[in-house]
A and B are shown apart, each in its own frame.
Chain A
Amino acid sequence: MKRFPIVLAGAVSALAAVVGLHSRTAAGHAISVGPANAGSANGSAGTTQATSPPTTNPSPSTTNPSPSTTNPPPPTTAPATAVARTSTGPVEQYGYGELSVRVTVTGNKITHLAVPTLQTAEQYSQQLAAQVIPMLTSEVLKAQSINIYGISGATYTAEAYVTSLQSALKNLHFS
């Protein structure tokens, strides 16, 4: 099976939002990422953290050209004493590609999520890039509005995401 090392910024925002749907049943963690209305797959990866300000990079870059006088103030949502800790989960295969999740925890909150590794089928990336997103004609049903026993529809990516994320959180002894 062919694999292509293509990084999909668009896919990342969609994936992060999937976790919101998934976390109710899968993980006990309250993962507050992903705008619920992520109907568009065209957002950039950065938009997945829209609700939390980017934390300072925990691994200082040696090529940083300027002294840190321009550092942004620490995020006001996190306790002043909280230290940001980052871990990257293992690369998970999801049937038609693979991905890994990097998580940053500040205090007892997940403050940053990223997908540093994402490989997928070339065709899929082309589809995403070209995708025009129409709406269904029927009324959209919210998952929580009716008693259901399961959801049908491939969720490989979401599950690989959750698995990698859970491992990364375990690395940080975050529960």
Chain B
Amino acid sequence: MVHDETVMGTVTSFTVFQGALSPGEVEAAVDAACAELHRLDDIFSTWQDESPMSRLRRGDLALAEVPSEISDVLALCRAAKTATAGWFDPWSMPGGVDPTGLVKGWAVESAAEVLRRAGAPSAMINAGGDITAFGAPAPGQKWTIGIRHPWRVDALARVLEIVSAVATSGTYERGEHLVDPFTAEHASAVASATVTGPDLALADAFATALAVAGEIGLDFVREAVGYDAYLILLDGTEVSTDGISFALPKTSDGRGGDGSGRSA
């Protein structure tokens, strides 16, 4: 089953394989997952003036007065800040703490958990280019995900094989979220930063951090178990960590990165 839902300022696409479920059960599972996304969006949206997150940012509410999900996410933000050596820092955003760089991935993981609990054998959720998946699209196959080309809207830069989550942060369409936490200035070191790993919230945070930190940020990705990164630098050079799995072999020379782990 394929379903598109407009939520969190973007379109979220569900691809759910039904396995032993009835069509009605799959539909109910997707409905519940969508409801979860809307519920979390209502809590976290910084576009809704009256959302708990907005009221917390304004100082209308204290942390003890907002839903516990906000504390959970802020705790995860602190962990992500540590894991990225400070390059991902929701507290350096203009206008107060802003977990936007992580919360979408976190919400999508929560929606995926709804599908999993409902018994779906495999599924993929794509929230505006941030993707999480579980199971397999077909026996023995991996999910293949195209990485958007940073300068061409009609092309892909690469196709990656993923097991669970992938997030890409780029400077081609967004700008405001890329703030250098050390200088508080808008910054971008790469054209596109893609991170794969077990959890979309952290992959999202890593990708955001890498987009600002650039190549030196690969070090903190290497230290995070299960996470890998693929960068397209501003001059078009590509670098990646060892565990990235490209679905197609690279044809031209370039810098495939440090043993770019292409799949056979």
Contacts and interface: CB of A to CB of B under 8 A. Distances in A.
Interface of A: 1-2, 14, 17-18, 20-21, 25-26, 34, 36-39, 93-96, 120-124, 126-127, 133-143, 146-160, 162-163
A55 B1 CA distance: 40
B236 A149 contact: no
B11 A141 contact: no
A20 B154 contact: yes
B173 A154 contact: yes
B175 A123 contact: yes
Contacts of A147: 144
A148 B157 contact: no
Contact of A148 (B4, B8, B11, B145): B145
A2 B156 contact: no
A175 to B, nearest CB: 17
Interface string B137-173: 1000001111111111111111110000011111111
Categorize the interface residue count of chain B. 35 or more
B10 A156 contact: yes
Contacts of B150: 136, 153
A136 B176 contact: no
A151 B236 contact: no
B9 A149 contact: no
Contacts of B168: 152-154
A139 B147 contact: no
Contacts of A150: 13, 15, 124, 126, 131, 143, 145-146
B148 to A, nearest CB: 3
Given A95-B9, A139-B251, A156-B9, A151 B173 contact: no
Given A2-B94, A121-B175, A162 B47 contact: no
